Structure 1
Amino acid sequence: MTVFVCAGCDAVLSGRLARVALPVHAHQKWGNGLLPVLMEPGTYAVDPEPSGPPWRPWSEIGEDEAAARGVFAPERALSFGPPGAIVIAPGDARGTVLIPDRCGGYCCGLDGRDGPNLACAQCGLPVAARVDDCSLWQSVWFAPNAVRALPDNQPTGRTTGWEWRKWQALPPVAPDGSWDPRWAAAVGAALAHLLAASEGTPVALPNGPVTDTFGHALDALLPAGTPAKTVALAGPGLPARESTRRILLVPRHPRTGERWLAPTTAETVPMPADAWKRLASPDEPLLLPVTGGLPDGVQRDDPLPRYPWQPLRPDWGVFLHTLARIPAVREPWLRGIYDRVKDHPYARPF
């Protein structure tokens, strides 16, 4: 477990936290309403990329310098601030106060546009940005150079093993019938990797949830014809896949972020563990607490499955962000897809 303290005066700024993988939807913008809290209570994640000012436009950076940063397709601007921003749930923050002249936002709250808007209550050092505006996940982002991590050597209670049966599956559909934004982000990121692995040729999808999830988008972005590769699920608890002409959808570990290593030479496409489990175990029953009346072994059949009121639209922002960081995007056919989606982000299938 870790506690974060102010770099200026050592005041405690967080509760005791366990590190987990940075959510794929950490920087997502979705809809025009308020989104829930990004991080689970008692956890934190670290963004390896630079964040915050100074920003430089793509025209000043150039392809070689951007590629050295791990960005291989044009973006409007890149941050040249320090890497390693730390994100926590707002309820896990301690000992901070708002900075009144840095409380900018779009309409419903704060978006961190003015830099750190939280200061250490003890010494006044700007330490973090509170984000809670519409379309953004609610979070607190510690500036990496404003805090220090103090490990307390206490066990986290979270395993680094592949105990996939303990993972929570992500329901794709929200209670109101809309697609869950976390699902749209997970699909958008995986779609970018799927396209790169396809090498621009048609792929065959297995019947069922994988086709339901990716079929519409791949039909729109890849040419028609005889499939050159097949897509399959792989991971802990599933049988091994032995073909080199396969593309395997595999989970990222929810704590470490590591991609599951398939025991073959097949290409792998990572997905967040909760989304992967939903595809791997689509019929897993939702167990609900009940009181009296039901015999042993009988499960309730409610709530009824949720059905969406519109087709799945992968998150185009997450798709572009992910694709820009895959070296294969420099190939003309894939760069063409990137440019087309960037210029027309709401065209099919987005």
Structure 2
Amino acid sequence: MERIKGLKEYVKSKDYREALGLPTEQEEEYKMLAQGEYNINYIFEHPKTGQKLLLRVNCGSQMHLEDQIGYEFYALQLLKDSGRTPKALYVDGSKKLLDHGIMVMEYLPGKALDYHTDMKYAAECLADIHSVRIPESEKVLIRPENPLIAILEECEEMVKTYMDSPLGKDKTKQTIRDLLDQAWKKARKSDIELTYACCINTELNSSNFLIGGEGKPNYLIDWEKPLLGDPAQDLGHFLAPTTTFWKTDVILGMEEIEIFIDNYIECVGGRFDTTGLKERTKTFVEITCLRGITWCAMAWVQYQQPDKLIVNEFTYRKLEAYLSEEFLEKIEKFLEHKNV
């Protein structure tokens, strides 16, 4: 915990301990569990209840939010009845005692999703989450007016870091520019009509699922970028080659994608209108490909900075892979052949 200035003192603070029902004097031990690009997670056991808990330290916001951790906490509260997300127990986004936002939630068991064996569990999990009704009066969750355009605007913002950097390769810059131009044409021609809005995760990497297996709980964690939007956007991100390849070497084929969408609709079981869902998902798959590539381009430049707080060796190797000529050619062919 030494890497986060003031964190050791924070967990000893009166407000933190009282809110979680912890003993006045610290007895629990915090151990590093995992870190992403924007959060560092520690695991500890509540000394009174024996419950395993997760302390999440937020170190940045993809959404440029002042209270990123509060936004994530709010989404988890909305979804608590789904049975598919961790229960959030405490949040402090004030940054009064610490330069970072803090959240504590229950620790959930499970392994990362396997695209070969666990797709039905992912379908069940997403169907339950997407079926949670969001009040029409909802004002906190961000809701892009045109999600396809919003994704591409985000892509342009992210890729600017790479395009403006002298470290970026000219050929890679041109390839990404060409892919983006094609995606803009696709998005402007699209006539997607939203028939149902729900809380979507937008970052459905395999490691964000916790799979227990048959007859056991299966969850979706890491809710740092939720939106109010089309469930097809989540499905498109989940199935896109830039997503499946992130933690594995899997790129799903057309038949596998079709089967998953059919299974998902079956799991929804009429709880909301799925008219046109398959067609919308296919469009989101194509556009989402560019989100993955442009994020990698931005992150690759950031990884060259000596003062970066969170550095993950696995992530850096993947960034290199995504920006390689070989991978970008695969994406070009995927989009040209409309494998979805």
Pick the TM interval, shorter chain.
under 0.3
Q: TM-score, normalised by structure 2?
A: 0.27
Which structure is higher in strand share? 1
Give the greater-gyration-radius structure (CA): 1
Which structure is higher in helix share? 2
Q: TM-score, normalised by structure 1?
A: 0.27
